[in-house]
Structure 1
């Protein structure tokens, strides 16, 4: 019997959420469509997988049995896809590098240049993802290595090396009451609405809301953004404020948005990440380039003068 892995993923998400509405939101499909897919899976297997009630979706005994194996099946399939895609790009001598927003800031181009010196004939393909996937395609096998803003969901599944840290600032509409301040205390922003990343980004979203650094004050969500343009527009239109890396003030300047240093929150970290199981000469070389550029200041100066 053949079962579409998409159906199995839908099933696993419903089990995790225990609720069709939340699962549908996380999967970016409508609730009726998700219900139809679950019923299709039940019809193919010839069993009822859930007991449906107003309280939510509870797996039946058969559903629990499937859930016990679904994760391993999906992981094995993702690993097979990762190896297959990697083999294709290796043959073309292409290294796929995922990133979110500003990657490693101004050091990104220096890293790529250093990698080109280490691996002549190779090409770096930069792939940016929306904020629904803070792993920048690493979790799905769409990239070989990634430059990430930490923390990210399931970070323990990757080999992660921190490359640099920088302060978190606050982005405000130009007309905000605090826009004229040179520096802002985070506690003065507790009651402000915030522009948040999508819920499925998990702890990454919580980190950029500083959910654990609010002294018990709840977060107010004014808008949800999936990428930088959506985020900038939400702030400019007064839908909320947002924590952001200091580098954002350099990369995303707009007359209707101001960026200010903020005290009372931890610093942001940028890391280079790869799957635990992946051992590849090109990825090794890229990681070495990241270390050289981000740790060895003399190399940064040398590459800057050469460019």
Structure 2
């Protein structure tokens, strides 16, 4: 008895026809018939009643069928387990990261993962958040670090890393520097330096302004938060970033923006159907981010 015979037996039982069963398992009808005859000889019992045009199970065949299905399912489970181990030995991990965002814990997670699975190839790409989420949906990226405005898409699994409000960054001597906060309407009175569309922070700004009927004056935009802050430091506009990004620039004054109503999110997103490699990576991410 071998797995091939069990597969042919189940196919004939479910198709009730040797020809259809042969098409299903991709061999000739004579090949299926010969294997079934050999199987019956080994068991010492007929499995099928062949007296009519439709093949029917005998009592012995009906008794054997559920066990044959269980054996095939067990064999498939063994194959899946072996494939998972193989995937962790020779797999490939494709990561996406929102452009210009340097998040040290993600690099810590990758380093820890690499030490655990040194033969897995890691590929890293950068794009804006909208593009990254589409790449995740399409299966082109396994895991992406993205920014979002207010909420995350329900069709993807996610892990929120940061949720915070907007901050205006200005140099000493600017009119906003002496204020404890600025309203969104007040912010819109000044030219701004922003991250590009497709980032979470820019999404929060644009959506909040649209909700209040405001038109932000975006004088310049840059893909890296450091560049946005650097332009603001030179008097080219008010930088609009998040609180954690503002903390990287102590030479500038951070002024919270009130009345926005949305949070800027930074999150990891992935497809709900997790790959073997991704399931191995996620615990490293949770530990690195303290989640």
Under TM normalisation by the shorter chain, which class is it? 0.5 to 0.7
CA distance in 2, matches of 1:285, 1:279: 10
Distance 1:136 1:152 in 2: 18
Structure 2 contact 90–119 (Cα < 8 Å) conserved:
no
- Name the counterpart of 2:266: 270
Report the equivalent of 1:288: 283
Task: Give the deviation of 1:145 after TM superposition.
Answer: 0.9
Local SS of the residue matching 1:247: helix
1:246 to 226, 237, 243: 243
User: In the alignment, what sits opposite 2:215?
Assistant: 218
**TM-score, normalised to structure 1's length?**
0.51
Counterpart pick for 2:193 among 192, 195, 203? 195
- Match in the other structure for 1:45: none
Aligned equivalent of 1:145 = 143
Q: Tell me the equivalent position of 1:260.
A: 255
Taking the aligned partners of 2:93 and 2:203, their CA distance within structure 1 comes to 31
Partner of 1:102: 101
Give yes or no for contact 1:169–1:261 (8 Å, CA) kept in 2. yes
Inter-CA distance 181–214: structure 2 relative to 1 (3 Å threshold): farther
Contact 1:134 1:153 in 2 (8 A): no
For structure 1, the 5+ residue unaligned runs are 1-88, 297-307
1:246, distance to aligned residue in structure 2 (A): 1.7
Given that 1:131 and 1:227 are in contact with CA atoms closer than 8 Å, whether structure 2 keeps it comes out as no
The verdict on how the C-alpha distance between 1:263 and 1:211 changes in structure 2, with shifts beyond 3 A counting, is closer
C-alpha distance 274-134 of structure 1, shift in aligned 2 (>3 A): closer
The answer on whether the counterparts of 1:131 and 1:226 sit within 8 Å (CA) in structure 2 is no
1:244–1:109 distance in 2 versus 1, CA, 3 Å: same
Tell me how many residue pairs correspond in the alignment.
Answer: 203
Please state how far the C-alpha of 1:146 moved relative to its aligned partner: 0.8
1:83-162 correspondence runs (5 A): 93-100=91-98, 101-102=100-101, 105-116=103-114, 119=117, 121-122=119-120, 124-129=122-127, 133=131, 135=133, 138=136, 143-151=141-149, 155=153, 158-162=156-160
Instruction: Kindly state the Cα deviation for residue 153 of structure 1 after the two structures are TM-superposed.
Output: 11
Structure 2 CA distance for partners of 1:202 and 1:162, relative to 1, 3 Å: closer
The answer (yes or no) to whether the contact 1:209–1:243 under 8 Å persists in 2 is no
Judge conservation of contact 1:93–1:122 (CA < 8 Å) in 2: yes
Per the alignment, do residues 258 and 93 of structure 1 end up closer, same or farther by CA in structure 2, a change over 3 Å counting? farther
Using the size of structure 2 for normalisation, the TM-score is 0.53
Instruction: Return 5+ residue gaps in structure 2 as ranges.
Output: 1-86
Residues 1:128 and 1:111: Cα distance change in structure 2 (over 3 Å): same
